[in-house]
Amino acid sequence: MNSTASAATAVSLKGIEVRFETTALTFDCAIPAGRIVAVAGASGSGKSTLFNVIAGFEEPERGEVHILGKDMAGRVPAERPVSVIFQEHNLFAHLDVATNVGFGISPALRLSTADRMRVEEALKRVGLGGFGNRLPPTLSGGERQRVALARALVRRRPLLLLDEPFAALDPGMRAEMRDLLRDLHNEEANTILVITHHPDDVKALADSVLFLDRGRIVAHDRVDRFLERRDVAAINRFLGNQ
Ligand SMILES: Nc1ncnc2c1ncn2[C@@H]1O[C@H](COP(=O)(O)OP(=O)(O)OP(=O)(O)O)[C@@H](O)[C@H]1O
């Protein structure tokens, strides 16, 4: 963990309220910079909505989003210092891998020679050197996720949001992706929020856990403390306690 970065707050949500027809969600939290934070909670507890609020895809009815000290009011997703990797559909199927990664640098694909080298470097970094000309449908699920990660890498945003990045992967690939994320995090000193349904990911990857229950953040603990909690039924279910 980078000590300078950890003094700052990566994400601050104050009095956020999101209202859908059948449910309302409220978020308050302050996430220190330089951490890997697992975001967990039962299906429908609000994890994706939390990400959408931070990234700017969902406009809350009330409240403030600050990222690295800056108020995000009125800033569309592309103007926020955030990269998001969704569970699926991260890539354009008809464009080759290098082009997909190049979008991370320039949405208009005006890439200099140096930019193209950065793309190739990022592909090598995620173990996909030489894959630049392949089309996404010819890749495995894990390879596609790694392309999405390479695109996030070339963007160099200080906050990375990953929505169940390991969902399509077998246990061996999950462990590999977790190691890769840890390495990249150590190199970039960025802040990573990662949605997961697996206690194994929490233990192997995260510094702390943000746990949601029915549209609220009910816990934000260091991993060792979180694993000892027995006071919230939803956390017990997540951890498989009885
Ligand atoms: N666009 C929307 N319109 C109406 N309701 C919505 C919308 N988006 C989310 N919701 C509701 O808000 C609640 C939280 O949904 P969200 O997708 O954030 O949960 P989640 O924790 O990410 O779930 P999962 O683990 O199943 O992906 C759910 O009750 C969901 O039905």
- Residue 71, pLDDT > 50, answer yes
Residues 38 and 106 in one domain: no
Is the dihedral angle over the CA atoms 128, 141, 149, 79 positive or is it negative?
positive
C-alpha span between 15 and 145 (Å, rounded):
33
Residues 164 and 68 in one domain: yes
C-alpha span between 158 and 140 (Å, rounded):
28
226 class by beta-carbon count within 10 Å (0-12 exposed, 13-18 middle, 19+ buried): buried
Residues 49 and 108 in one domain: no
Q: What interface predicted TM-score (ipTM) does this complex get? A: 0.97
pLDDT band at 2 (very low <50, low <70, confident <90, very high): very low
Residues 240 and 125 in one domain: no
On whether residue 112 sits in a domain, the answer given is yes
CATH code for the domain of 186: 3.40.50.300
Pocket test for ligand 1, best of 22, 26, 48, 53 (most atoms within 8 A of CB): 48
Is the CB of residue 78 less than 8 Å from the CB of residue 155? no
> Which one of 113, 134, 156 terminates a domain?
156
Q: What is the per-residue pLDDT across 100-134, written as a single tens digit (0 to 9) for each?
A: 999 989 888 888 999 999 999 999 988 899 999 99
Q: State the greatest distance between any 2 C-alpha atoms of the chain, in Å, as a whole number.
A: 57
| Domain span including residue 143 | 91-156
Residues 139 and 182 in one domain: no
Structure tokens at 111: 């890439």
Cβ of 158 closer than 6 Å to ligand 1, yes or no, is no
On whether residue 86 sits in a domain, the answer given is no
Pocket test for ligand 1, best of 49, 58, 59 (most atoms within 8 A of CB): 49
- pLDDT (0 to 100) of residue 184: 87
Nearest atom within ligand 1 for CA of residue 51: 18
On whether residue 231 sits in a domain, the answer given is yes
- pLDDT (0 to 100) of residue 3: 43
Q: Work out how many domains the chain is built from and give that number.
A: 2
Nearest atom within ligand 1 for CA of residue 49: 18
On whether residue 113 sits in a domain, the answer given is yes
What mean pLDDT is predicted for residues 25-43?
97
Q: What is the per-residue pLDDT across 163-199, written as a single tens digit (0 to 9) for each?
A: 988 877 788 888 888 888 898 899 889 999 999 999 9
Structure tokens at 183: 């390495």
- Residue 5, pLDDT > 50, answer no
pTM for this predicted structure? 0.91
Nearest atom within ligand 1 for CA of residue 58: 1
Cβ of 45 closer than 6 Å to ligand 1, yes or no, is yes
Structure tokens at 101: 């990664």
Residues 163 and 62 in one domain: yes
Residues 4 and 123 in one domain: no
What mean pLDDT is predicted for residues 14-19?
98
Residues 106 and 209 in one domain: no
Of the candidates 50, 75, 239, 241, the residue with the CA atom closest to the CA atom of residue 157: 75
Distance from the alpha carbon of residue 167 to the mean position of ligand 1, in angstroms: 18
Is the CB of residue 9 less than 8 Å from the CB of residue 181? no
Is the CB of residue 193 less than 8 Å from the CB of residue 162? yes
Is the CB of residue 83 less than 8 Å from the CB of residue 161? yes
Residues 164 and 144 in one domain: no
What mean pLDDT is predicted for residues 234-239?
95
Cβ of 41 closer than 6 Å to ligand 1, yes or no, is yes
pLDDT band at 234 (very low <50, low <70, confident <90, very high): very high
Residues 235 and 214 in one domain: yes
